[in-house]
């Protein structure tokens, strides 16, 4: 037996990695009008982004319920070595609180550790990958949890957005609200600090934004893990990963796509880099 790793769809993990490492992923929810979908179960990336751009009403998102987590935790019992449940920043979502409630509901059945990674998307995803690899190597729940907590300050994220209107509409704009109202030709640059979105400047064009992502990656020093994440521009993400090969082995860079729960707030054209410092 090994420690079981659980996360949610905001981790944006490629399906191949989920299958390879045996990570359990709890779906978030997205609502278009009166219809609710389980993220990546009942609505695909392509369908979601098509509707995001064509529907007149902005979609809403909601976290899994405590029961959703209980059901997943029970599905992997007996978990004699424990369960590590990793989730996005509690400043961005109530997912962590739902998982914590589920842990309390199952206190007599399983040893569950729930961690707020203070990150989002592949920031969370890279933690899940690290944890699952450690579990496969036989690390204990306490050892893996300690390693994840120690690595939280090492996770970095920088992204360019075509617009902030989706963040504003979804209520997830955080400290980046200072950039709302910027002229249309300017592309906002955002980062995550202490679990919250913060402005990191503006660029005059998309190409300059991509250059900024590359320059930023070059300032990070030694990198342990690197990912490129997009919403609607896969070719651009691949080209960016190629250029980032100057700083990290290209064949180890993970290219991922924002799921609906995060993409609803990021919007089309969002592109960012996630790195864990060594």
Overall fold of domain 154-277 = Hypothetical Protein Tm841; Chain: A;domain 3 (3.30.1180)
Instruction: Encode pLDDT of 222-255 as tens digits.
Output: 999 999 999 999 999 999 999 999 999 999 999 9
Which positions ≥6 away from 171 have C-beta within 8 Å? none
Q: Is pTM, for the whole model, over 0.85?
A: yes
Multiple choice CATH, 4-151, 3.30.479.30, 3.40.50.10170, 3.80.30.20, 2.30.30.100: 3.40.50.10170
Q: In what order do the strands lie in the sheet with 35-38?
A: 35-38, 29-32, 60-62
Domain ranges of the chain: 4-151, 154-277
pLDDT value for 134: 97
Omega within 30 of 0 (cis) for the link into 78: yes
Give CA–CA dist 189/197, Å, rounded: 10
**Mean pLDDT for each 10-residue chunk of the chain (278 residues)?**
93 97 97 93 95 89 97 91 96 95 95 96 97 96 98 96 76 48 70 85 91 96 97 97 96 96 91 95
């Amino acid at each position: 037996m090994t420690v079981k790793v659980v996360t949610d769809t905001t981790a944006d993990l490629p399906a191949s990695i989920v299958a390879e490492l045996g990570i359990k992923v709890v779906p978030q929810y997205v609502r278009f009008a009166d219809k609710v979908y389980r993220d990546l179960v009942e609505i695909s990336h392509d369908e979601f982004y098509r509707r995001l751009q064509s529907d007149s009403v902005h979609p809403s998102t909601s976290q899994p319920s405590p029961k959703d987590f209980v059901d997943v935790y029970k599905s992997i019992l007996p978990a004699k070595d424990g369960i590590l449940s990793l989730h996005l920043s509690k400043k961005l979502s109530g997912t962590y609180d739902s998982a914590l409630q589920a842990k309390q509901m199952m206190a007599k059945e399983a040893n569950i550790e729930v961690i707020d990674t203070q990150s989002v998307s592949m920031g969370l995803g890279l933690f899940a990958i690290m944890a699952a690899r450690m579990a496969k190597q036989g690390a204990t729940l306490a050892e893996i949890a300690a390693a994840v907590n120690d690595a939280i300050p090492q996770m970095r994220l920088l992204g360019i957005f075509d617009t902030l209107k989706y963040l504003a509409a979804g209520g997830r704009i955080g400290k980046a609200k200072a950039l709302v109202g910027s002229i249309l030709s300017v592309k906002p640059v955002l980062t995550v600090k202490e679990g919250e979105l913060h402005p990191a400047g503006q660029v005059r064009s998309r190409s300059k934004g991509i250059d900024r992502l590359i320059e930023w990656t070059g300032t990070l020093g030694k990198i342990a893990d690197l990912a490129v994440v997009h919403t609607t521009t896969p070719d651009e993400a691949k080209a960016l990963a190629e250029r980032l090969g100057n700083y990290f082995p290209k064949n180890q860079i993970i290219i991922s796509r924002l799921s609906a729960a995060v993409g609803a707030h990021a919007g089309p054209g969002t592109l960012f880099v996630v790195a864990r410092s060594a």
